[in-house]
Copies of this chain bind each other. A is one copy, B any other.
Amino acid sequence: MADEVILLDFWPSLFGMRAKIALREKGVDFDPRVEDPWNKSPLLLETNPVHKKIPVLVHNGKPVCESLIIVQYIDETWGPESPLLPSDPHERARARFWADYVDKMIPVVRAVCASAGEAQEVVTKEYIEGLNVLQGELGNKAYFGGDRFGYVDVSLIPLYSWFFALETSSGFSHEEECPKLVGWAKRCMQRESVAKSLPDPQKVYDFMLELKKKIQAQ
């Protein structure tokens, strides 16, 4: 019997994109179910009763939650010939460190989108500093792990679809601030797994504006 793989997702979610990229890297057919964050499905509430958040990967009825845990699960379950995490324990730990670093930047990304004026200047500075730390780790490598697209790339590349929204709302240029990182992002976008999983930047920007209105109306 073929595997049943369902992904509970919401299209602008950086976390959902990670799961989609990993599944596509491994060539896993899956059934994407778009959730409405303001009207969660019974399946989402049942499969992630603790956090009630997407993404949730439901594999043959068994749920896996939290995006980086999902990516590791996908890596351990499918396609051992094309691993996302390196096999050496120290290199694995290093990849996990940088993926965790990306996770720790997400609240700053949210703050850049949600703030304005001086407060936005402060968080934008922090955000750009974070990108520069990542750019330093990338160095002159093609991907974070070296020559192969891997775990850290999967964890960070979704943010590229938000670059336009971030720039437009806060008035800076990723290309000017971290050109090597933009080069890396363009390289990642040449992969079908990534190109198919990242939404249109204009659509993300429109979503961000709509979200701001919703939050202000509350």
Contact = CB atoms under 8 A, between A and B. Distances in A.
A73 B50 contact: no
A126 interface: no
A141 to B, nearest CB: 17
A131 interface: no
A167 to B, nearest CB: 25
A92 B73 contact: yes
B101 A50 contact: yes
Contacts of A89: 73, 76-77
A66 interface: yes
Contacts of A122: none
Given A50-B133, A73-B92, A73-B93, 10 more contacts: A59-B90, A62-B90, A64-B93, A66-B96, A69-B93, A69-B96, A70-B93, A72-B92, A73-B90, A76-B89
Contacts of A59: 90
Interface residues of A, number: 22
A100 interface: yes
Which residue of A70, A90, A93 has the most chain B CB atoms within 10 A of its CB atom? Answer: A93
Contacts of A69: 93, 96-97, 100
Given A50-B101, A50-B133, A64 B76 contact: no
23 contacts: A50-B97, A50-B101, A50-B133, A59-B90, A64-B90, A64-B93, A64-B94, A64-B97, A65-B97, A66-B97, A66-B100, A69-B93, A69-B96, A69-B97, A70-B93, A72-B92, A72-B93, A72-B96, A73-B89, A73-B92, A73-B93, A76-B89, A76-B92
Interface in A77-118: 77, 89-90, 92-94, 96-97, 100-101
Interface in A187-201: none
